[in-house]
């Protein structure tokens, strides 16, 4: 399940593996609560190649077995693969080269999602605070806190609405290790990057396994939408939708 489908900076020389856990909680008007949890295995090697792996469950009552979707972003070969274990098919597509080391790719979102509508952080309705560095999930991270206020009446709201988002990004890995977003319209979303291992992953994780049929194309619906992969390499937040103007 993709969060926002954005991209992270292309980072080399900072290999790691981890498990990303995203939990969403939505409170209904009748007092009921809907809680969902998603988990994705992540890996990035020293060359900057990225792999995400998640298990897709069958639709309730469909009898469909769960299967694994893997996305590989090979910046060295400028190729993107989506591996579908259900059909033993690897979908291959070109991968655009990032603009410079550590820079976000053209036309795609940056590493840390913005709270402001249309990314307008300079809006008078948005307060941004830089937090003191601290250890989060075992790594040193820098934090930012955004609070956006939707004025009363702007979207038919009787009173002002506050949307908050706090993100902690690893100084060494350049990826978010914790993001918490709260929007009274949609609920609370929390992302945690857990089980972080700062070591070179096995190189076999970044190549198409034997037995897979390689086809050209990005894959069908629901393929390649992993949190750290999909259309980019970003650890983006699966969070509340932005306010409409």
Kindly list the structural domains of the chain, giving each domain's residue range(s) and its CATH number in brackets, ordered by start: 16-216 (2.50.20)
d(CA 145, CA 147): 7
Q: What is the dihedral of CA 185, 1, 113, 142, to 10 degrees?
A: 110
Burial (0-12, 13-18, 19+ Cβ within 10 Å), 59: exposed
Taking residues 46-60, what's their average pLDDT? Answer: 87
Distance set, CA 198 to CA 136, 162, 201 (Å) = 14, 37, 9
> Using an 8 Å Cβ cutoff, are 117 and 130 in contact?
no
d(CA 39, CA 157): 34
Q: What is the pLDDT of residue 223?
A: 56
Q: What per-residue string of b and e applies to 134-154 under the rule 16 or more CB within 10 Å gives b?
A: eebeebebbbbbbbbbbeeee
More confident residue, 239 or 177: 177
d(CA 140, CA 123): 30
Token pair 């090697």 in the structure block, residue: 45
Q: What is the pLDDT of residue 217?
A: 84
Res. 97: pLDDT tops 90 = no
Q: What contacts 245, CB < 8 A, 6 or more positions away?
A: 117, 118, 154
* Cα Rg, the chain, nearest whole Å: 19
Taking residues 82-108, what's their average pLDDT? Answer: 69
Res. 146: pLDDT tops 70 = yes
Taking residues 40-67, what's their average pLDDT? Answer: 86
Q: What is the pLDDT of residue 86?
A: 86
> Using an 8 Å Cβ cutoff, are 208 and 85 in contact?
no
Token pair 């830089």 in the structure block, residue: 130
pTM for this one? 0.76
Token pair 């977003």 in the structure block, residue: 181
98 token code pair: 């990032």
Taking residues 124-135, what's their average pLDDT? Answer: 94
Taking residues 69-88, what's their average pLDDT? Answer: 93
Q: What is the pLDDT of residue 85?
A: 87
d(CA 110, CA 96): 15
Q: How much is the mean pLDDT over the chain?
A: 80
Taking residues 67-86, what's their average pLDDT? Answer: 92
Q: What is the pLDDT of residue 26?
A: 95
Res. 57: pLDDT tops 70 = yes
């Amino acid at each position: 399940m993709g969060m926002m489908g954005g991209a992270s900076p292309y980072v080399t020389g900072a290999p790691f593996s981890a498990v990303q856990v995203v939990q969403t909680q939505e409170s209904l008007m009748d007092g009921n609560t809907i809680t969902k949890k998603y988990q994705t295995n992540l890996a990035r090697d020293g060359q900057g190649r990225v792999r995400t792996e998640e298990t897709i469950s069958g639709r309730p009552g469909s009898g469909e077995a769960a299967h694994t979707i893997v996305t590989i972003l090979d910046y060295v070969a400028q190729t993107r693969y989506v591996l579908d274990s259900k059909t033993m098919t690897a979908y291959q597509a070109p991968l655009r080269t990032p603009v410079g080391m550590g820079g976000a790719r053209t036309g795609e979102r940056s590493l840390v999602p913005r709270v402001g509508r249309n990314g307008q952080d300079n809006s008078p309705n948005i307060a941004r605070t830089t937090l003191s560095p601290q250890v989060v999930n075992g790594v040193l991270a820098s934090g930012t806190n955004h609070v956006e206020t939707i004025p009363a009446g702007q979207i038919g709201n009787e009173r002002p609405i506050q949307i908050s988002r706090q993100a902690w990004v690893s100084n060494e890995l350049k990826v978010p290790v914790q993001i918490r977003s709260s929007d009274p319209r949609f609920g609370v979303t929390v992302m945690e990057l857990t089980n972080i291992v700062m070591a070179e992953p096995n190189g076999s994780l970044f190549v198409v396994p034997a037995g897979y049929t390689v086809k050209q194309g990005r894959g069908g619906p629901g393929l390649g939408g992993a949190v750290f992969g999909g259309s980019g390499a970003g650890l983006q937040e699966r969070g509340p939708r932005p306010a409409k103007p």
